[in-house]
Amino acid sequence: MTVIHVPKPPQSARNPGRAVSSLLSAQIQHLREAEKNLPLRYRSEKYVNAIKTEGEASEYIRDVTEAIHKGHGEAAAQRVKRALERKRGLEIAAVAERPSPKRRGVAMAKPNATKGGRKR
């Protein structure tokens, strides 16, 4: 595979004090919508309309991205745990004792039969 070298951007490209651009503002709004789907313990307490600089925006983007990764990791671990529990549950059910012959032959009591759906 051919390696493509990408030049490092000049230092002037990053300016934490610069005002947020419309592109960055749109990204913040998209992340806010994504954050709404996270469990409460992962949500940030930041008010996105108060983000005015690139530095504040990068901080918010980093926090939400980390929270999404943590939430995804926890959800994946829970799925694995449930799958293992289901497997163990099937193994336990497979070795359960069979009911005794006495219990197998017992019929359930039938309710009073009615003629035409009415009681007489």
d(CA 120, CA 114): 7
Residue 97 corresponds to which amino acid?
E
pLDDT tens digits, 31-67 = 999 999 888 888 888 899 999 999 999 999 999 999 9
pLDDT above 90 (res 10) = no
Residue 70 has pLDDT above 60, yes or no: yes
User: By CB neighbour count within 10 A (0-12 exposed, 13-18 middle, 19+ buried), where does 60 fall?
Assistant: buried
Cα angle: 95, vertex 98, 102; to 5 degrees: 165
For residue 117, what pLDDT is reported?
Answer: 57
Q: How far apart are CA 54 and CA 25, in angstroms?
A: 10
**For residue 15, what pLDDT is reported?**
83
Return the pLDDT at 22. Answer: 93
Element (H, E) at 71: helix 54-94
Q: How far is CA 72 from CA 60, 61, 68, 78, 83, in A?
A: 18, 16, 6, 10, 17
The pLDDT value recorded for residue 65 is 93
Per-residue pLDDT reduced to its tens digit, 79-107:
888 888 877 655 555 555 666 666 655 55
Average pLDDT over residues 10-31: 88
